[in-house]
Amino acid sequence: MALLIVLTAAVLVPYLALYVRFLHEPLREREIV
């Protein structure tokens, strides 16, 4: 069970990081403009 949680986290964390970057980039562009 623990192994499943570790594998799930290992898969989701990179996607979460990309999602957070995708959300923050447009906000930065709006602030600059």
User: Residue 26 and residue 32: Cα distance in Å, rounded?
Assistant: 10
User: Residue 20 and residue 33: Cα distance in Å, rounded?
Assistant: 21
> What pLDDT does 24 receive?
81
> What pLDDT does 25 receive?
80
Between the alpha carbon of residue 10 and those of residues 2, 5, 17, 30, the distances in Å are 12, 9, 12, 32
pLDDT by residue, tens only, the chain of 33 residues = 899 999 999 999 999 999 998 888 877 776 666
> What pLDDT does 26 receive?
75
Tokens of 7: 């594998």
